Structure 1
Amino acid sequence: MVLKGIDKLGDWNPQLLREVKGRLKGRNLAIALGASVLGYLAMFFYGLNQFTRLIDPERHYYVDKNEIFCKLRDTYLGNQAKLSQLQEQYRLLQDQFFRYSSAEYYDLAKINQLKGSIENVKTQITNLQGIAPIYECPKDAIDIPLWWQYQHGQMFGWLSVIALFILLIVGTYMLIADLAGEERRGTLNFIRVSPQSAQSILLGKVLGVPILLYIAAVLLIPLHLWLGLSAQILLVEIFSFYAVLIAGCTFFYSAALLFGLMSSWLNGFQSWLGGGAVFLFLLIAFNRWTWITQNPLDWMKLFSPDVILPYLYNQTEHYSPDFIGYSTPIESLQWFHIPVGLTGLGIVSFVLLNYALWTGWIWQALKRRFQNPNTAVLSKRQSYWLVACVEILLLGFAVQEKQDIYISYSLVDNLWIIFCFNVALFLGLIAALSSHRQVLQDWARYRQQEGTIRKKWRIVHDLIWGEKSPAIVAIGINLAIATTPFWVWIALWNEPGFDKLKALLAVAFFICITLICATLGQLILMMKTSKRALWATGTIGAVLSLPPIMLLVLGIETHDNPIPWLFSSFPWAGIEYAATSMMAFAILSEFLLWGLLTFQLTRQLRKAGESATQALLAGHSSSRH
């Protein structure tokens, strides 16, 4: 039976069978089993320690009388309400006493009557004040079944978060390390030429490399389910968390594969970098002070599976654990004024759709990159759709209706946040679309050979849609797609003190700097050195970071001298204090610089095409002789 199942697995996905056979060793299975047993023991000893502290009179366990599993809660709250009423009554009696003690309204009988009433109320207040400050609930007054329900909710939450962190971080590390190992051993190219499709091989990696993690997680499901049901969390909500966690693992594991295929030049460090990046992201997303601020930053929260944890407690009779109870008020989340965070079904559906969209985009890039390591991660056509998707999502989160008086983000703030997203997006596009030397050389040779018969529109079509042509025109089109909402938004926005012209010039600065970086990166990728990608990354990073750092070190303040900032890689710092004419001159200078870089790139492409054509013709002539 087992052999027949293995044969069927091999027929369905040979790569998965290869991964499973390589990892399901006795020692590895023992480690997975031990990890799950450790989870059971950790939850058992946590609950035992809490209960021991609760029933042991010599050990302190603080339970506030306001907590719902204190049987004295209603009595305590009633005393508190009565104390407030008596204090208000005491204040009124004192006011009356002072009134009838005055010369105008003096009344001895009334004064004596009020003295008696004041003493009576004062005695009652003193008695209640002797009870009110005792906030700790006596241990014999604690509702044990309800207390256990709360503890099970705490353990359920902690187990969910720990499993989430381990699955995403360790799984990401394992996948990237596995690809690095395959690359180092030279077996990755062997897998590429196998008759399996790229999708089948990569799916086998996703399902097979973290197989021990999956086994350990499945073994913990009974404990997790029992804790959730004991905390009166609905079964459908528990399974909704599983669905989001599976979707999150699929997204992060797919991204790990793509990063592993693109980062072979890091020589083994890429697994630590990828795992560390996921850990840092989850740490920021899980931070209990990370609020939904109803701006485009809210989008990032949807990439962390813990986003739905608060909803798992919304049907229970007690409040959620502390680390979840203080978390983001995601009920206020909107997208184009659609209240996606209002219900658990809404947020789960939106998170799953978000994961599905971006996992699909990653797999488009994965299939391209796996089949040909030298090709661009995305085609130019795909990049246009990708940028449109990003901009639509960002705009949807930017136009949320403010529901919290403490949220102070304005439309201008949202524009700056979208701008920051676009900076990261276009740096990624430059890396994804820019072709390397050999690809550009082949394209230039093809264009050189057929240049006399090809029409001009065909060259333009090749620059817009072609796979091997330089990425500059495609980056320009993507800039038009990304900045069009900026132009329209700025043109329609009317707010006192908002300078539309400077805002439009700020967008123009973004376009100029992006085009300069794209052209510079393409020039560096034309170099003959084997470390072209590293040189391009380092150069663009230096161009973007060094000028503002130097200005800060030199103490050049934007309000005192904004002109140097306008000619740096961060001109937006000086826009507020610079004259419009100087800003226009700085933009013109940057356009001239981009023109020079484009001219140099054109020369290099022409030279490369001519050299390649001459070499090809020389080879043909020598073969004839």
Structure 2
Amino acid sequence: MLNKGIDKLGDWNPQLLRELKGRLKGRNIAIALIISLVGQFLLFFSWSGDRPHVPHVPSHADIHYPDIHYPVDELDMQLLWQDYYRDIFISLSLFVLFALLVIGSYMLIANLGHEERRGTLNFIRLSPQSTSQFWLGKLLGVPILLYLAIAITLPFHLWSGLSGKIPLAEIISFWVILIASSGFLFSAALLFGLFGSWFSGFQSWLGSGAVFTFLVMANVKPINNSSFDWLSLFSPSVLFPYLVDETNSHYTGFPFHLGKIQAWQFFNLPLGMMGFSIVVLTLLNYGLWTYWIGQAFNRQFRNPGTTLLSKRQSYLFTACWITFTLGFALQEPTSGYSYPFPDNFYIVLGFNLVLVLGLIAVLSPQRQALQDWARYRHQNRSTVNSSLIADLLWGEKSPAFFAIAMNCMIVALPLLGWIWLASVDIDMKQQVFASLILSLSMMLIYSAIAQLMLLMKTPKRGIWATGIVVAVIVLPPTLLSVLSIVPGQNWGGLWLFTAFPWDYVMRHASVGLVLQTFLIQVIILGGLNWQLRRQLRLAGESATKALLAGRSPLFN
């Protein structure tokens, strides 16, 4: 019977069977169980000193101290015990959350890097199993011992929660969110693991460290009705205030500080008023971004030389991104902002800078793809002119600049609507509009620089492109700060040529200066695109034609 079950499992998912056979050994299972049980015992023992106790009543106390009474309120004791079990429940939840997500991410990244170094990953790519089978087999099989250790905590977790008067439905909702979180982060870990050779074995520590840092940062800030509130949807601990019924107070359960979560809104809807709405939106958020990670993983796994997303996919991805960043920013911030509308708007621009930098990385074709596009698209002369724009916007091998420009337009349209409808004076609308235009033009400049770097002959062109773009973004504001060149002083206008021109535009820039800056940016962008077009034209030449013209071919 067991062999039949194993055979059926192998028929359903060969990769899962391979992972389970390598890990489910008696010794490994025993170690996982012992670690889990010892951890639970230590956790329970650490709370034993805080157990509520009935105060000792001295004999004849009423005779010697007639004005002092030692009443024991049964209701108060019940509440103390309830809080005690809730604290144990939250502590165990934190332990499970970090152990599962951080250690699980480490295991998956390390495993995929090991497969890559051994060369077995290429054999798996050639096997008849689908990418989804490989993905699911890794997700379920690699951390199987970790899953077993976590499963052993379920009785203790359930008992402490029910003893703390936490409804069973809310306990189940936490586990549902935790499973969805695991699917998202583990899928991201697998995608990151495909690039393991870049980090020479260090990638597992880097990835798991990033997960740990993100989980803490996603919850260390209070809810304040800005785009940063989106980050809280990526951690299961967002449900803790509802589990312990502290949504109307400044929830400060260590190590988190969510504040008054009831003020949380999404497109002006009262998201934080009910735990059910948090669960629904969190699951939707995890499901959406897990889907996009799956799309990128599928493309990269089968064809490592392709871009992570197609240009067509990127437009829908950007629409999803701007929906979430804008949805949490439309409300007036609860605290900490001098100018609520522009400050919230600039946070959205910061998120979109991250988006555009990510799009540069996932949409820019490699050198060989650009060479093929530049050389062979000219063979069909009848469709060259008619299909050029469409090819630049939709083609798999065409340069990414026009696609990134289209994504910037997708970002700009809803933001322009927000500016138009905002209840602020016309001067502030003009300042915010100027910030939007200058920021988007700088993002396009970064895109053009990256594409030029990817046309280099050096085998490390990807690292060069990343380094140059990061330097262009980071060095100018850093140098201006070191030289004490601040907005409002001499040479302060140089801040308009950085990725963060917002403060200068808001406080000091005139209309004429903004127009001059934009004109200079357009000239720079035009020069970069002229150089990009020239390089692509040379790339389109055959090697023989280049040699006859007395030049070495651009591509070897």
Normalization by structure 2: what TM-score?
0.90
Q: Deviations over 1:407-426 (max 9, x none)?
A: 86622121111101000011
**Residue 486 of structure 2 is aligned to residue 554 of structure 1:** no
CA shift for structure 1 position 560? 0.7
**Residue 262 of structure 2 is aligned to residue 328 of structure 1:** no
Distance in 2, Cα, partners of 1:421 & 1:217: 35
**Residue 244 of structure 2 is aligned to residue 313 of structure 1:** yes
**Residue 86 of structure 2 is aligned to residue 153 of structure 1:** yes
Structure 1 residue corresponding to 2:517, chosen from 553, 576, 586: 586
Distance in 2, Cα, partners of 1:412 & 1:544: 22
Residue identity over aligned pairs, in percent, reads 50
| Other-structure match for 2:553 | none
**Residue 436 of structure 2 is aligned to residue 503 of structure 1:** no
Letter in 1 for 2:420: A
Letter in 1 for 2:38: L
| Other-structure match for 1:30 | 30
Distance 1:406 1:438, change over 3 A: closer
Structure 1 residue corresponding to 2:323, chosen from 365, 372, 392: 392
Distance 1:498 1:269, change over 3 A: farther
Distance in 2, Cα, partners of 1:140 & 1:345: 35
CA shift for structure 1 position 321? 8.8
Contact 2:181 2:286 in 1 (8 A): yes
Contact 2:337 2:343 in 1 (8 A): no
Structure 2 residue corresponding to 1:463, chosen from 392, 404, 414: 392
| Other-structure match for 1:205 | 138
Structure 1 residue corresponding to 2:119, chosen from 186, 193, 197: 186
| Other-structure match for 1:104 | none
Q: Deviations over 1:257-303 (max 9, x none)?
A: 1122245312222211111111111112333xx21111221111111
CA shift for structure 1 position 17? 0.9
Any idea what SS the aligned residue of 2:123 has? helix
Distance 1:308 1:141, change over 3 A: closer
Segment of structure 1 superposing worse, 579-588 or 187-196:
579-588
Structure 2 residue corresponding to 1:240, chosen from 157, 165, 173: 173
Letter in 1 for 2:347: I
Contact 2:219 2:257 in 1 (8 A): no
Distance in 2, Cα, partners of 1:392 & 1:305: 21
Structure 2 residue corresponding to 1:441, chosen from 367, 371, 374: 371
Distance 1:330 1:324, change over 3 A: farther
Contact 1:295 1:409 in 2 (8 A): no
Any idea what SS the aligned residue of 2:509 has? coil
Task: For 1:61-100, list aligned pairs within 5 A.
Answer: none
Contact 1:153 1:231 in 2 (8 A): yes
CA shift for structure 1 position 324? 8.7
**Residue 104 of structure 2 is aligned to residue 164 of structure 1:** no
Distance in 1, Cα, partners of 2:445 & 2:120: 39
Distance in 1, Cα, partners of 2:252 & 2:405: 49
CA shift for structure 1 position 401? 6.2
**Residue 184 of structure 2 is aligned to residue 251 of structure 1:** yes
| Other-structure match for 1:50 | 50
| Other-structure match for 1:565 | 495
**Residue 54 of structure 2 is aligned to residue 15 of structure 1:** no
Task: For 1:510-521, list aligned pairs within 5 A.
Answer: 510-521=439-450
| Other-structure match for 1:415 | 345
| Other-structure match for 1:276 | 209
Structure 2 residue corresponding to 1:295, chosen from 205, 220, 226: 226
Structure showing greater radius of gyration is 1
| Other-structure match for 1:63 | none
Q: Deviations over 1:371-403 (max 9, x none)?
A: 11111111111110111111122222222367x
**Residue 472 of structure 2 is aligned to residue 543 of structure 1:** yes
**Residue 422 of structure 2 is aligned to residue 493 of structure 1:** yes
Contact 1:192 1:371 in 2 (8 A): yes
CA shift for structure 1 position 341? 1.9
CA shift for structure 1 position 55? 6.7
Distance 1:425 1:568, change over 3 A: closer
Letter in 1 for 2:417: V
Letter in 2 for 1:430: I
Root mean square deviation, CA, Å? 2.8
Any idea what SS the aligned residue of 2:382 has? coil
Letter in 2 for 1:249: S
**Residue 454 of structure 2 is aligned to residue 525 of structure 1:** yes
Structure 2 residue corresponding to 1:362, chosen from 277, 293, 300: 293
Contact 1:153 1:320 in 2 (8 A): no
Any idea what SS the aligned residue of 1:610 has? coil
Distance in 1, Cα, partners of 2:296 & 2:546: 34
Distance in 1, Cα, partners of 2:423 & 2:258: 35
Distance in 1, Cα, partners of 2:257 & 2:485: 42
CA shift for structure 1 position 449? 2.2
Tell me the matched-pair count: 535
Distance in 2, Cα, partners of 1:325 & 1:15: 38
Contact 2:227 2:347 in 1 (8 A): yes
| Other-structure match for 2:313 | 382
Distance 1:559 1:164, change over 3 A: same
Any idea what SS the aligned residue of 2:34 has? helix
Distance in 1, Cα, partners of 2:464 & 2:251: 50
Normalization by structure 1: what TM-score?
0.80
Distance 1:504 1:483, change over 3 A: same
Distance 1:586 1:282, change over 3 A: same
Q: Deviations over 1:553-575 (max 9, x none)?
A: 11212211222222344433432
Any idea what SS the aligned residue of 1:360 has? helix
Contact 2:216 2:255 in 1 (8 A): no
| Other-structure match for 1:119 | none
Segment of structure 1 superposing worse, 307-316 or 13-22:
307-316
**Residue 360 of structure 2 is aligned to residue 430 of structure 1:** yes
Distance in 1, Cα, partners of 2:480 & 2:537: 38
Distance 1:353 1:600, change over 3 A: same
| Other-structure match for 2:552 | none
**Residue 2 of structure 2 is aligned to residue 2 of structure 1:** yes
Letter in 2 for 1:264: S
Letter in 2 for 1:448: H
